[in-house]
Amino acid sequence: MTLTLPGTSPVQKRKARRSRRRAGFDTPLGRTVLQAAAVIAFFAAWEIGVRMGWISAFLVGSPFGIFALAYKMIVSGELLSDTWYTLFEAILGFVIGTIFGSLLGLALWYSVFVARLVEPFIVAINSVPKIALAPIVVLWFGTGLVSKVALSVSLTAIVALIAAYQAAKDADVDLQSLLISMGADKHQVFFKAVVPSTLPSIIATFRINVGFGLVGAVVGEFISSQRGLGHLIYTASSLYDLDTVWVGLFTLMIMGFVLYYVIDLIERTSLPWKQSGITHQVQV
């Protein structure tokens, strides 16, 4: 038998809680509606501002001009070709840089001596703004694909290296001791305890590095190139063609956005042991 006191029946309680959520907008659909409204309002304000002459279309472009141009560029295939080119450079740089950096960082676990020896050099290399290397990279690797990939690698590898090395250093010593007491050798400790425990950190760097991969590709294209979104933006801005610049920028934004969620998916599927069915949240 259940006792129900007036005013505290489960149904009413649930209702009371729901009413505290901002008028039903705190649901997936409600949030999407709000977000879409914000985007539309932003572009509307921009367009109205330009039409009323409050802001200069010459300096900021106009939403209608941008959409019309984007449509034209998509139909002509010009935009897609530039997009694929930049995306390919960025992903190639990201993958090579992340693999190379992570393996090197993990390998440093094997020798404390070597790790201590090279640590100041890693810090030194990391403290150089890698973008400053762009002109040299173009000199060394030419104006084609390789120089952009090389720039992306230089940006991503060091991040991956430091993260992997730090995670390997922080790997639970007790788990390693346990393996040693079981008779495991150094390689077994490395592959059974160190590598798996570094995976969350290494995958967490994917998020940062996928962005750096794009930075490398675009900056490389700024310096010298014949193709890609960076090339598109750079040449258009030198001609004061702001609509084209915006088309390039928004395409880059969408690209980064999609990549972020791809990484998110990789993170969720590759570490099933990290996932729990329940998410705890504190109500303040």
Partner 1 sequence: MQPAPVQLSVRNVTKSFSGKAGEVRVLDDLSFAINERDFVSIIGPSGCGKTTIFNIIAGLIEPDSGAMHFRGEEIESLRGRVGYMMQKDLLFPWRTVLGNVLLGLETRGVDRAEAEARARDYLKAFGLSGFENAYPKTLSGGMRQRVALIRTLIMDPDILLLDEPFSALDYQTRLYLEGVLKDAVETYHKTVILVTHDIDEAVALSKRVVVLSGRPARVKIVHDIDIGAASPIAARGDSRFSGYFHALCAELDIQTEKTA
Q: Binding to partner 1 by residue 283, rule CB under 8 A?
A: no
204 binds partner 1 (CB under 8 A): no
Of the candidate residues 103, 133, 199, 249, the single one contacting partner 1 (CB under 8 A) = 199
Sign of the alpha-carbon dihedral angle for 262, 263, 268, 271: positive
In the complex with partner 1, the residue whose CB is nearer, 180 or 204, is 180
Q: Contact with partner 1 (CB under 8 A): which of 2, 59, 129, 181?
A: 181
Q: Which of 227, 89, 226 is nearest to 151 (CA)?
A: 89
The reply to whether 186 sits near partner 1 by the rule CB under 8 A is: no
Shortest gap between Cβ of 198 and partner 1 (angstroms)? 11
What amino acid is encoded at 89 in this protein?
Answer: E
Q: Where are the alpha helices (DSSP H) in the chain?
A: 10-20, 28-51, 57-60, 63-76, 78-107, 112-127, 134-141, 145-170, 173-181, 186-189, 195-223, 229-238, 242-270
Which residues in the 244-273 window bind partner 1 by CB under 8 A? Answer: 271-273
What gap in Å lies between CA 130 and CA 266, rounded to an integer?
Answer: 27
| Distance of closest approach, residue 55 Cβ to partner 1, in angstroms | 54
When asked if residue 104 is in the footprint of partner 1 (CB under 8 A), the reply is no
Q: Does 183 bind partner 1 (CB under 8 A)?
A: yes
Question: 105 phi and psi, to 5 degrees?
Answer: -60, -40
Shortest approach of partner 1 to residue 183 CB, angstroms? Answer: 2
Between residues 142 and 196, which has the closer beta carbon with respect to partner 1? 196
**Tokens, residue 204:** 């967490």
Which positions touch partner 1 (CB under 8 A)?
Answer: 172, 174-175, 177-184, 188, 192-193, 196-197, 199, 271-273, 276
